[in-house]
Structure 1
Amino acid sequence: MKRVIYIIGLALFCLYGSFAQEYATFQITGTHQGSGSFINAALSDFSWAVSGTLNGEVQILDNEVFDDGNAFENIFGQADNAQNLRIQVAMNGAGTNGQPLTSSATLTLFFDQVAPPDAWGFCVVDIDVENCLFSATDENDNQVPPEVIDGWLMELFDADLNEDGINIPKWDATHAALLGSDTPEDYIVYNNLVIGGMPSSEAPAAGFMPDIPLKSLTITFENLQDIYNTSYHFYIASLETTSVSEFLLNYPEVYPVPASDNICISLKQTPIPDLVVDIMNASGNVLIHKKPADCNGVVNLNISALPAGVYFCRIYNPSLSYVKKIIKP
């Protein structure tokens, strides 16, 4: 929930940027497995596989619509007609309220090349009484700690606000887990969850944007119902329509993070005409605005006058737009 406030300003501001987004397309190539692809995007193609106590086949749908105004849509584009994976998990059968859950499914994406940081995002929709646990491996095949995944969370939102009110999932940062919007308050910690048999809501959702290179991403989806089959929808999108190699070669580096007094922006490609650098607060207000005339590949900004908090550094010109989160302790 901590990201809901400050991401709103960023999302609204990005509407004026020059992002060229690309949602993935999916193809089923075997039982509960397949591949995904992008067209010249800053995210490599991938293969995927699903296993567990599934109810029927994995489906590919393209008739979902996000509610207007959420951060994932504003940054990655409207999901109208964009493909998503629908994964349905069988009910817990003879399980009863208060018993450990027994039904789950695991979706894993394996990227053909290392997925670059700050270049893509994923979204899960329809997490009502279920639970999603996120894990990943980095470019060195190490497990990504939950506290790092916690930093990827952009926003918790209702993807279907106009239907039945507000349904927003809960987030357990300690375990990097989404908990259903209907999950009782005394079940707000991931490892306390048991079969609940609670009523189902419509479209609680969450959007994420990884900020480190990844080789794989895994979602473990668990059914907390004892009388219903449950499902979720998975989207993946690239921020820029450019090749992976071009993105890795040219995207700016912003450091240090966190930063107390100064930040340095290292540009991989120079010169960049009409370059602008803005520091924005949580509301999207520009606090520092700079047009470096001749930066020789490096831009330095003094942020010592800013109070402690979360900010965003936006580097852009008519053909480039890049955003990086900044933390000032």
Structure 2
Amino acid sequence: MSASQDTLLQVRDLYKHFPIRAGLLQRQVGAVKAVDGVDFDVYRGETLGLVGESGCGKSTTARLVTRLLDPTGGSITWEGRDIATLSRKELKPLRREMQMIFQDPYSSLNPRKTVGTIIGEPFIIHGVETDERKRKRMVQELMEQVGLNPEHYNRLPHQFSGGQRQRIGVARAIALKPKLIVADEPVSALDVSIQAQILNLLRDLQKELGLTIIFIAHDLSVVRHTCDRVAVMYLGRIVEQATSDELYAHPRHPYTGALLSAVPVPDPRLSRDKHRQVLGGDVPSPTNPPSACRFHTRCPKFVEGTCDVNDPPLELKDGGNLAACHFPLTDDEIARRVPTAAA
């Protein structure tokens, strides 16, 4: 999948703070800093992966980009237009151009509606096709396109398996021929064999429809074979960005190196040579994140007086990676954590 450098979406200094309220008057006593200053670009026709531990802000970022949540601050520029402050009415035409595939295929479909109604609902909402017979034919074509039997048009979601339900979600997402699909961990609730089928389906649809995809996941092996570029998040911020090949071969941020060191290696020889980097402590609370570098409380390369004082910018490092780190990994350190890079 070759990515054009034509920017479809540009995110700058994006914030989302959820207020914490207490007392009889429900005064704000704090905030959960779910997304805390995020910058990235999405190029037309590419797949951008967004990875990180649970609670790092990936899904919140997805909902901000699609304006399912209102940002606390920052800009979201869609084809040259800032959509961060648009009203619901102003956003409605844009809904056709960006759609979302949700994580859980069991809870994202209305159990009381038939599959035909679920997939056909976008046509009704946006007034694309008012004739019921024509709409049914369009829905059945979509079902066939994602690998479902069109004859199951009148079935309810509980009559389908998890993988089939996710195909229903995919069909609903592509119904209006959007430019951008945001896939929020679309395979994490599925069996491994079914995961591969859904990933292949998304790849085929991307080629067929010219889709741009933001793919959110915590499974690094899935992201490696799916995405053109990868952005790694930690505690509400992006700490590294690079092409998929470069990130997996030469991670520069210590957090990325630790994540990759935990990925199983099928080759026993390489697995034996690999040094597992175990991070100390727990992920800090997003209500009170560490000062300066967010990762310094768990970082094996922590230097007092620098990492806990100066906030590192996301800047270009050796190999072309963007990393927010004062002391990025050296090639020798990378080889110990990711022996496949040196093999």
Does the alignment reach a TM-score above 0.5? no
Relative contact order (alpha carbons < 8 A, sep ≥ 6): 1 or 2 greater?
A: 1
Q: Rg bigger for which structure? A: 2
Provide TM-score, normalisation by structure 2: 0.28
Provide TM-score, normalisation by structure 1: 0.29
| Richer in helix (by share) | 2
